[in-house]
Amino acid sequence: MSTATLPKDFLWGYATASAQVEGSPTADGRGLSIWDTFSSLPNVTEDGLSNATGTNSYSNWAADIALMKSYGVNAHRFSLSWSRIIPAGSATSPLNPAGIAHYQRFMEALLEAGVEPIPTLFHWDLPQALQDEYNGFLSARVLPDFERYARVCFDSFGHLVKSWLTINEPNIFAVLGHCIGAHAPGRSSSGEGARKGDSLKEPYIVGHHLMLAHARAVAVYRKEFAQKQGGKVGIVINGNWAEPWDASEESKQAAENHLTLSTLWLSDPVFTGDYPPLLRKLVGDRLPTFTAEESALLKGSSDFLGLNHYTTFYVRKRVTPIEDGDWQNHFFGENESTTTAPDGTEIGPKAGLSWVRPVPWGFGKLLRFLWRRYDRDVWVTENGVICPGEKDMSKEEALQDDFRIDYFRGYIDELAECVKEGVPVKSYLAWAFADNFEWQEGYTAKFGVTYVDHKNNCEMTPKKSAWWMKEYMAAKMGLKDN
């Protein structure tokens, strides 16, 4: 255990996303999103269930906030549903006053509970109308639509918000939605009909438009709202650390390639105004080019870096052949990730999802690396784990989540050590507040510190980790536990 502490104004709490928790997909004038339609298709989620229920948070939001308050948090990250605010999504289509009023009430109630609201504009649930009209982020037509949506949000909620997040994990949205096809809108080279795409080209087009959408939203905020509202704006990138498999130059280069392809691809542009030179070398003409005007708009367009981090991999030059249709490995090419070191030892213990292993030291390496690279504050906006076998546990078993507690302790201690060294980490927003709809896993992947009984009107019960976190964070921050 680390004795390093955190400042008293450190922000901590839990994260959610509208498509994963709200449910009520057509209530009060909301339009459908691509996740509403995609998750309703056969054979796209592990349990065959859609996100139509989530955790019923659209109906039960007041109880959610009361529970958060009891957990002792001082911040909550959530996302706004674009199609709940502008049902048809476009720059010219009508607003939905009921949706706007809902989020105003929600944020006001958070503040009354002593919890800072940290909203994300886009957490993957694009209005279905825009996907139908022009294939969403595959088209530059999305840019004025997103800009108008951002302006509406800043105007409607900015007086309640100190910190905005523009886009959640553009790298994951681009790859899983437009290369592998496991996420909405489900496009890949193997797809059919509207889901037929180009797995090695489309992710870079989508990523390019996501960067420009982010930049335009930030420009709107800084020009029209920042002086009056005094807030900050940042983007959220998914980043898992790539550790060289061994000390060879070959493995070191493979790890650098992997980190560049997976993370720096869409974090570099918001600070430098362009893609990493190594990415251009690896991808070639599949990577779009920013105009001088676009580059100037992008450079410095994030006041801080939001980081979603879960695990660390060893990376080496590929030794495993890539099978036809394995678009994930085609995307990473000659670089291969593994959880096993050359001597056969595992990088970390197995958890409830195969790709998540607890590796706190990798978290520390990534935090230090990003600070050195960008010289910006880092906000940890997601971090969490599923206990081994949790999806098959009884309620009583799931509530005793000591594996999650050990994970949180390791990662929070590593973060605190980085802060002690001078790395400006400003938040820890764990994933997730409750067991919710987890994309292609449906409701089988349980990341929450709150158990949700999906067969009993989403009844919520705190897990052991929720109370442990309350005490541990109070101790870390030198606060009396009330």
One DSSP character per residue, 280-315 reads HHHHGGGS----HHHHHHHTT--SSEEEE---EEEE
Peptide bond between residue 140 and the one before it cis (omega within 30 degrees of 0): no
- Per-residue pLDDT tens for 30-84? 999 999 999 999 999 999 999 999 999 999 999 999 999 999 999 999 999 999 9
Question: Is 1 a member of any domain?
Answer: no
Tell me, what CATH number does 57's domain have? 3.20.20.80
Say whether pLDDT at 1 is over 90.
Answer: no
Q: What pLDDT score does 324 carry?
A: 92
User: Is residue 368, in this structure, part of any structural domain at all?
Assistant: yes
Helix and strand totals (H; E) in the chain: 19, 13
Query: Residues 402-412: pLDDT tens digits?
Result: 999 999 999 99
Name the phi and psi angles at 113, rounded to 5. Answer: -85, 5
Number of domains in the chain: 1
DSSP label at 463? -
pTM of this prediction?
0.98
- The answer to whether residue 129 is domain-embedded is yes
Chain centroid to Cα 241, Å, comes to 16
CA 387 from centroid of its chain's CA atoms: 20
Q: What percent of the chain has pLDDT over 70?
A: 99
**Rounded percentage of the chain residues whose pLDDT exceeds 90:** 99
Residue 89: CB atoms within 10 A of its CB come to 25
Q: What is the mean pLDDT of the chain?
A: 97
Determine the pLDDT at residue 232. 98
104 within some domain: yes
Segment 421-443, tens digit of pLDDT: 999 999 999 999 999 999 999 99
Q: Which domain covers residue 267, as residue numbers? A: 11-476
C-alpha span between 365 and 361 (Å, rounded)? 6
pLDDT for 482: 42
Other Cβ atoms less than 10 A from the Cβ of 327: the count is 21
275 vs 260: CA distance, rounded Å: 9
Residue 3 located in a structural domain: no
Distance CA 280, CA 219 (A): 26
Q: What amino acid positions are annotated as catalytic residues?
A: 169, 382
481 within domain boundaries: no
Predicted confidence (pLDDT) at residue 291 exceeds the cutoff of 60: yes
Q: Is the dihedral of CA 313, 383, 173, 53 positive or negative?
A: positive
- Using one digit for the tens of pLDDT, what is the confidence trace for 134-193? 999 999 999 999 999 999 999 999 999 999 999 999 999 999 999 999 999 999 999 999
In the structure, what pLDDT confidence band is assigned to residue 222 with cuts at 50, 70 and 90? very high
Give per-residue pLDDT as tens, 339-396: 999 999 999 999 999 999 999 999 999 999 999 999 999 999 999 999 999 999 999 9
Asked if the structure places residue 424 within a domain, the reply is yes
Residue 47, CA atoms < 13 Å, CB-side half-sphere:
16
Q: What angle do CA 418, 424, 430 make, to 5 degrees?
A: 75
Residue 106 above 50 pLDDT? yes
Identify the pLDDT of residue 93: 98
Residue 437 falls within a domain, yes or no?
Answer: yes
